[in-house]
Amino acid sequence: MSISDTVRKRVAQLREEILYHDYRYYVLDDPEITDSAYDRLMRELQMLEADYPELITPDSPTQRVGAKPLSEFSEVRHEIPMLSLANAFEEQEVLDFDRRAREKLGVDVIDYAVEPKLDGLAISLMYEQGSLKQAATRGDGTTGEDVTQNVRTIDAIPLRLRGKDYPQTLEVRGEVIMPRKGFEKLNEMQRQKGGKLFANPRNAAAGSLRQLDPRITASRPLAFFAYGTGVVRDGELPATHHRIMEKLRSWAIPVNPESRVVKGAEGCLEYYRQMQEKRDSLDYEIDGIVYKVNRLDQQEQLGFVARAPRWAIAHKFPAQEEMTTVLDIDVQVGRTGALTPVARLEPVHVGGVMVSNATLHNQDEIDRLDIRIGDTVIVRRAGDVIPQIVSVVKSKRKGKPRRYHLPDNCPVCHSPAVRLEGESVTYCTGGLYCPAQRKESIKHFASRRAMDIEGMGDKLVEQLVDQGLVNDMSDLYSLTVEQVAALERMAEKSASKLIQAIDKSRHTTLARFLYALGIHDVGETTAQTLASYFGSLDAIRKASVEELQSVPDVGPIVAQSIVNFFKEKHNREVLDKLLAVIELPETPRREATELPLAGKTFVVTGTLSDMTRDEAKDLLRAKGAKVAGSVSKKTDYVIVGDNPGSKAEKARALGVPMLDEVGFHELLDSL
């Protein structure tokens, strides 16, 4: 036997041994060898791979770290959406959930798979032929971020599955967490370096996983537990959730050891009470329990409602409460201009986190609680996340502290702050000018559905504003290639493309421009309706509340928002500067009710061959139609392209008329 064959066999043997010991350590929590013995195996493999680099494979345990830092994360679209769960806070809600499930299934009792609800970051792991190929965050449930390089550094996640009976394509879903001991150690290191301390293990886990440099992630004590699967191809999984989890465990994927199968709602509640008592002794944070109908055929029969399954629910633990003092009340101006009062508190530990601030939401909440500076209050972390004041301990109130009222002017730009009738939120009216809203207003202005400035990403906007190159959106049109090329991660070619995209946006439609201004409550459909009704921006600027309300779908709140926007001096100044550099053609004026598709609701789904879905929606809105994002009984038509998905199925089930691409064009041609 040649030495090459001997080396190949030894490398394969070492990888199998290391994978087996990782499985014993991370999955079974029952190691067979000492850390030093494990280290010797790893060092031998590293030395052999150094001598014979042609034997290195991506799923070798030596290849967890080594990729170069990224400039940004790329997007990953989840083939099967990662849905959220409905929450239950009271036992009665769990009983109601169980009753609804039993009634729909027509059974007397249901077996539930139960497990702790981990307080971490949801992640998707895609394995192809047993090797980890991609990892992505949950994101918005449909689109997440590619964090493959970082996930590869987490020792608990196998780069290659054990065994042979796994599907050729297997998506594992779970939670990346930071154990308590690791969190405490990390914060101690941060403290010694004078760095920023993490508020809680969840924030630490999320921040660690979203590092552009995987070496930083590798230095953080992250763990992982699987809670389900997504895409499965060329292979089968067991018929129950619990057996699937056992199968994942046999393939070296960590599964929470506290997982169980219980009978009925009472079994769920008993498990909940047991875990509530055990909660503080666990080495990781949990904020409740997840109950899932165990049988997959029953899950399929129960189906989904909105963005959550009917076969699962999260039973949250009660929020923990403490008493403290209100030292002051400040006002924060959010990216949308909302003025939010914030109570500055005497720091207090609540649920393991030091709390020094609590949102008061709005003036109504301040009045409801009758909170005054100097009051003793009970503070709670709602859902174990957001600190909020529950009540005032009035017996401890001293003297007659005055009531607090939100200011009449924005504390950042001093524009008038208004609260529209029927609304609870107070807004700054200086949307185009206010520094607190500046970055967000420019991002919105440049977005695809607004002025469509390709290449104007969030990070670029932040750089332009931070370096003083752009103070409002009109400044975009005076940028030069040299200024943009000098920015971080920009070069002359990309800068030139951006300037071209900015110049292209000088020619737009009234509806797009109106939407781009970011007027509170004015979305795409309302902007299109206003453009069609008034025909020019000048007419909209001069319109009274009464005249605006004559437009269909424009009520008193929207009308007042529009008037307030154009009444603000700073907004008018920015608007005049914009109109000096943008060509804004007038739109042929037509009464909205005269448009051929007025009063009709459409949904567009699938891929169209000769236009994008957004272009199709623009055509429909221009004809007076309302374009919705979901199908209901009130939908008049569904436009169906290739690979339409669930919307077409729902339309078919509800009997909603569907038009293919040919039918869609015939409809437009007939108008």
Catalytic residues, by residue number, are 117
In the chain the first and final C-alpha atoms are separated, in Å, by 81
- Supply 45's token pair: 């493999």
Angle at 133 between CA 130 and CA 135, to 5 degrees: 120
201: which 2 tokens? 């293990």
Q: Which residues contact 508 (CB under 8 A, 6 or more apart)?
A: 451, 452, 516, 582, 583, 584
**What is the CA angle 25-28-31, rounded to 5?**
35
SS3 readout for 406-435: CCCECCCCCCEEECCCCCCCEEECCCCCCH
Select from 205, 134, 211, 121 the least CA-distant residue to 172: 134
Give the helix, strand, coil percentages of the chain, each rounded to 5: 40, 20, 40
Residue 216 identity: I
Q: Whose structure tokens read 């594992």?
A: 172
Residue 275, both tokens: 């875990």
Handedness of CA 635, 640, 645, 648 (dihedral sign): positive
Extract the tokens encoding 325.
Answer: 């003092």
Pairing of strands 353-359, 601-605: unpaired
The pair of structure tokens assigned to 93 is 């809600």
Beta strands in 405-562, from DSSP E residues, in sequence order: 417-418, 426-428
E-strand ranges in 416-573 read 417-418, 426-428
